[in-house]
Amino acid sequence: MREVHEGIYGSHSRGRTLAAKVLRAGYYWPTLKTDCAEYVKKCKQCQQHGNLVHASAEQLYSINAPWPFALWGIDILGPFPLAKGQCKFLVVAVDYFTKWIEVDPLTTITAANVQKFVWKNIITWFGIPYAIISDNGLQFTDKKFNTFLENLGIRHRFTSVEHPQSNGQAEAANKVILTELKKWLGSAKGARAEELPEVLWVYRCTPQSSTKETPFRLAYGTDAMIPVEVGEPSFRRTHFHEESNDDSIRAELDVVDEEACKQRMTRRFNSKLKPRNFQEGDLVWRSTCSTRRNPTEGKLAANWDGPFKVRHSLNNGAYKLEELSGKVIPRTWNSTHLKAYYS
């Protein structure tokens, strides 16, 4: 089997192909197919260069915010092509409860700029949040920034490395902002800071698929008055009455069906997953992204590196890893980027 699989004649073929080759060479035993499958399964080269697994390994877990502006996702969007009056980066924050978005232009990405944004755009407008979710960028892992959050009692949650789905709200907000900027700018290149208020205004006054309500309504209890209602007076402008208006707002404050939408999304997502669960002490391969691959190897670089040992099993498919020597790997890794190591 070894010679046929990886010798001069071998091509590191799959188990069934290996069994067929052995059989065609004139060799047979009762457990031929099983033995070939097990041999290929434990082949280090086959594991290291195996296809990346795109199916999710863990169920979809909805992140719920206990009250408006309690939980924010924050991320950086860019870089954009630079021109006069344009910004290179955007810092984006989205509230998990109302889907309200806050955005500020940045010329450079620094922890000080992010801290200033959190204070100016979140805390002074919406109060001190319970927690903030971000990726593992240097501007978010900075010691001074985290000390700033700790002093205010704000919990800082990091997403698993290379798993932006953990901060899905901010990622979705980035996509919306980028799309709307393209529409506003047309053929112009770059992101103009003066265009941001219009983009945010449109988003905040647009019903979201998850809540069926606008972020403005969930934040303030009523829909914003938009220009078309002034040019062609709407019913609420022509029949404005303070007392009846107050009663209507109070009656509708609790009408949000986000939970039903989350359940539908969860069922749809979970129907396609391929579970991969690991225990502490298990050996695993870790998928290699472009930043960790050896640039000299090009397309021939391995898709998986390792093996690594599972140090801790955390919640929702996140794991802490360590090298076989015992050196701890920084941050958490999602099971989507891991697969079992066989030896």
Collapsed DSSP state (helix, strand, coil) of residue 79: coil
CA distances 88 to 23, 76, 91, 141, 195, Å, are 62, 11, 10, 21, 14
Identify which has the larger pLDDT, 322 or 185. Answer: 322
Residue carrying structure tokens 């829909």:
223
For 181-205, b where at least 16 C-beta lie within 10 A, e where not — what string? beeebeeeebbbeebbeebbeebbe
Average pLDDT over residues 70-83: 81
| Neighbour-count burial of 335, counting CB atoms closer than 10 A to its CB (0-12 exposed, 13-18 middle, 19+ buried) | buried
* Rg of the Cα atoms in the chain: 26
Task: List, in sequence order, every residue forming a beta bridge with 123; answer none if it has no partner.
Answer: none
pLDDT, position 142: 93
Residues in the chain: 343
318-322 β-sheet, strand order: 333-334, 318-322, 304-313, 283-287, 338-340
Residues in CB range of 327: below 8 A, 6 or more apart:
none
CB 128 within 8 A of CB 69: no
Maximum average pLDDT range among 42-56, 146-160, 280-294, 295-309: 146-160
Within 10 A of 114 (CB to CB), how many other CB atoms are there?
Answer: 23
Q: What does the alpha-carbon distance between residue 157 and residue 128 come to, in Å, rounded to a whole number?
A: 15
Q: What is the pLDDT, as a whole number, of residue 250?
A: 59
Contacts of 270 (CB under 8 A, 6+ apart): 59, 60
| Domain segments of the chain as ranges | 2-41, 71-260, 283-340
Query: Rounded to an integer, what distance in angstroms lies between the CA atom of residue 284 and that of residue 18?
Result: 25
Q: What average pLDDT does this structure show over 301-310?
A: 84
More confident residue, 309 or 298: 309
Residue-wise pLDDT tens digits, 173-211: 656 666 665 555 544 455 566 777 887 888 888 888 777
pLDDT at residue 17 greater than cutoff 50 = yes
Distance CA 60, CA 265 (A): 8
Query: pLDDT grade, residue 24 (50/70/90)?
Result: confident
Structure-block tokens of residue 11: 């091509």
Has residue 292 got a pLDDT over 60? yes
> Could you report the per-residue pLDDT of 113-159, keeping only the tens digit for each?
999 999 999 999 999 999 998 888 899 999 999 999 999 999 998 87
In whole angstroms, what is the distance from residue 290 CA to residue 203 CA? 34
Quick one: pLDDT at residue 267?
Answer: 66
- Out of 33-42, 206-215, 249-258, 287-296, pick the least confident: 249-258
Band (pLDDT 50/70/90 cuts) for residue 270 is low
Question: In sequence order, which ranges of the chain are alpha helices (DSSP H)?
Answer: 2-6, 15-24, 32-41, 44-48, 111-117, 124-126, 138-141, 143-151, 168-185, 196-204, 215-220, 227-231, 235-238, 242-252, 258-270
How does residue 166 score in pLDDT terms, banded at 50, 70 and 90? very low
The residue-averaged pLDDT of 271-282 equals: 77
Better-predicted residue by pLDDT, 313 or 187: 313
Task: Report, at the CATH architecture level, how domain 283-340 is classified.
Answer: Roll (2.30)
Q: How far is residue 53's CA from residue 317's CA, in Å, rounded to a whole number?
A: 15
pLDDT surpassing 50 at residue 54: yes
Instruction: Give the residue among 121, 93, 106 at the shortest CA–CA distance from 191.
Output: 106
Q: Which residue has the tokens 């065609």?
A: 24
User: Averaging pLDDT over each range in 73-77, 90-94, 142-146, which range is the top one?
Assistant: 142-146
Q: Do domains 71-260 and 283-340 have the same CATH topology?
A: no
For residue 163, what pLDDT is reported?
A: 47
pLDDT of 256 reads 47
Average pLDDT, the chain: 77
Task: Report whether pLDDT(224) > 50.
Answer: yes
Which tokens belong to 341? 């190591």
Q: Give me the phi and psi of 188, to 5 degrees please.
A: -70, 145
Helices (H) and strands (E) in the chain, counts: 15, 12
Predicted confidence at residue 119, as pLDDT, reads 96
Is the pLDDT at 280 greater than 70? The verdict is: yes
pLDDT of 118: 96
- Which residue's structure tokens are 């900075």? 142
pTM value is 0.55
For strand 155-158 and strand 131-134, is the pairing parallel, antiparallel, or unpaired?
parallel
Query: What is the percent of the chain with per-residue pLDDT over 90, rounded to a whole number?
Result: 15
Asked if the 71-260 domain carries CATH number 3.40.50.10420, the reply is no
| Mean pLDDT along residues 224-237 | 78
**Whole-number pLDDT of residue 187:** 46
